[in-house]
């Protein structure tokens, strides 16, 4: 029961975050309409972030429906990444006039961020599946 409540709470938090992100994206779109310039890949990243925020609650819901939350946690980001990639591609094409090349500083920061993100994801997945495995032993 406590796992179910944790999943529902996580889904609620992610839904609130996705609403917040939608407002941020809406504001950024309005800024772009006023002539703002964004670095290459900006809209693609925003689409992926939005897709992940929508995919996680969907995945947890699927996991609860299937009776195995671990499967839902695994499926959610995959669905979110696919959906977010489509959103990002459309946004990138829509705002092609307001895209500028990356500066050297932004390029270096992007490489560091990618390495950090991959490291955190690997650590998070390892810890998550370890906890799910240990919970299954109880």
Tokens 């299954």 sit on residue: 136
Does 74 lie in the same domain as 11? Answer: no
SS3 58: helix
Enter the tokens of residue 14. Answer: 């992610």
Please count the structural domains in the chain. 2
Query: Is residue 129 located within the same domain as residue 90?
Result: yes
29 and 56 in a single domain? The answer is no
Quick one: average pLDDT of 18-43?
74
Claim to verify: residue 45 and residue 2 sit in the same structural domain: no
> Is 80 exceeded by the pLDDT of residue 100?
yes
Same domain, 64 and 26: no
**Bridge partners, 84 (sequence order):** none
* Average pLDDT of the residues in 108-126: 91
The mean pLDDT value for 24-48 works out to 76
Decide: 55 and 81 in contact? Cβ < 8 Å. Answer: yes
Could you tell me if 10 and 60 lie in one domain?
A: no
Shared domain for 89 and 41, answered yes or no, is: yes
- Does 50 lie in the same domain as 103? yes
Mean pLDDT, the chain, whole residue set: 84
pLDDT in tens, 51-98: 988 888 888 888 888 888 888 888 888 899 999 999 999 999 998 888
The answer to whether residues 66 and 27 belong to one domain is: no
Instruction: Return the percent helix, strand and coil in the chain, to nearest 5.
Output: 85, 5, 10
> Do both 47 and 3 map to the same domain?
no
Judge if 81 and 105 occupy the same domain. yes
The dihedral region occupied by 103, where left means phi > 0, alpha psi between -120 and 50, and beta the remainder, is beta
For residues 75 and 11, membership in a common domain is answered with no
Per-residue confidence band for 7, with pLDDT thresholds at 50, 70 and 90: confident
Q: What is the pLDDT of residue 112?
A: 93
Angle, CA of 112, 98 and 117, to the nearest 5°: 20
Classify residue 37 by burial, with Cβ atoms within 10 Å: 0-12, 13-18, 19+.
exposed
Q: State which residues form the domain around 58.
A: 34-135
Report whether pLDDT(2) > 70.
no
- 38 pairs with which residues across the strands? 99
């Amino acid at each position: 029961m406590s796992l179910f409540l944790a999943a529902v709470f996580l889904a609620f938090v992610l839904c609130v975050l996705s609403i917040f992100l939608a407002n941020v994206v809406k504001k950024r779109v309005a800024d772009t309409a006023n002539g703002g310039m964004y670095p290459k890949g900006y809209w693609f990243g925003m689409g992926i972030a939005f897709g992940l925020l929508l995919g996680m609650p969907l995945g947890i819901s699927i996991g609860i429906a299937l009776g195995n939350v671990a499967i839902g946690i695994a499926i959610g980001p995959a669905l979110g990444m696919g959906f977010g990639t489509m959103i990002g591609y459309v946004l990138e094409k829509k705002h092609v006039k307001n895209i500028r090349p990356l500066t050297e500083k932004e390029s270096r920061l992007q490489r560091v961020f990618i390495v950090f993100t991959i490291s955190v994801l690997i650590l998070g997945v390892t810890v998550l599946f370890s906890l799910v495995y240990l919970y299954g032993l109880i």
